[in-house]
């Protein structure tokens, strides 16, 4: 079993390894939030586009909103399927599917009571906007 010092070192190493990824995700998130474009700088550090008009395109936000809409409105398919299963096994698989559907509905009910978006919408937004994804295998 790792010691507390080893755990701290593991966490610090993971943060160092993922820092470039997190910086990239933050820059992408700035594009979604339409942070004004500042232009590039040359070797001396002076802006190369001084005196020129600069604009911020809304293309990243439009494309991401479309992807969020498509993921949020996609049907959630839950299938427990075993080819060539006999009737008792198929009935058991159907109950598993109904159980999983019930869990998702209960989660969405709790989230709506807390004025939070549906689970599918929230996961889609976290995956696309922040680069985080979650999956749980039953």
List, as one string, the DSSP characters of 83-106: TT--HHHHHHHHHHHHHHHHHHHH
Numbers of helices and strands, H then E, in the chain: 4, 0
Averaged pLDDT of the chain: 84
Average pLDDT of span 87-106: 92
> 3-state class of 41 per DSSP?
strand
Domain that includes residue 32, residue range? 1-57
47 and 67 co-located in one domain? no
pLDDT in tens, 29-58: 888 888 877 777 778 877 777 777 777 788
97 and 53 co-located in one domain? no
Band of pLDDT at residue 134, cut at 50, 70 and 90:
low
State the DSSP code for 47.
Answer: B
H or E, element range at 112: helix 87-113
Of 64, 66, 71, 63, which is closest to residue 129 (Cα–Cα)?
64
48 and 86 co-located in one domain? no
73 and 120 co-located in one domain? yes
H or E, element range at 14: helix 4-32
Q: How many other C-beta atoms can be found within 10 angstroms of the C-beta atom of residue 124?
A: 21
Residue 55's contacts (CB-CB under 8 Å, 6 or more residues apart) are 37
pTM of the shown model: 0.61
Least confident of 21-30, 74-83, 92-101, 109-118: 21-30
66 and 134 co-located in one domain? yes
Q: Is the pLDDT reported for residue 89 higher than 60?
A: yes
Q: What is the CA radius of gyration of the chain?
A: 23
Task: Give the total number of structural domains in the chain.
Answer: 2
């Amino acid at each position: 079993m790792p010691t507390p010092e080893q755990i701290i070192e593991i966490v610090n190493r993971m943060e160092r390894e993922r820092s470039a990824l997190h910086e990239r995700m933050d820059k992408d998130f700035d594009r979604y939030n339409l942070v004004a474009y500042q232009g590039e700088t040359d070797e001396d550090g002076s802006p190369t586009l001084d005196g020129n008009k600069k604009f911020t395109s809304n293309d990243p936000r439009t494309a991401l909103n479309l992807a969020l809409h498509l993921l949020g409105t996609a049907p959630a398919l839950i299938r427990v399927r075993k080819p060539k299963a006999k009737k008792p096994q198929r009935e058991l698989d159907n109950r598993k599917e109904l159980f999983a559907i019930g869990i998702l509905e209960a989660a969405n009910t709790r989230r709506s009571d807390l004025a939070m978006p549906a689970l599918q919408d929230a996961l889609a937004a976290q995956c696309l906007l922040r680069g985080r994804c979650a999956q749980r295998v039953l």
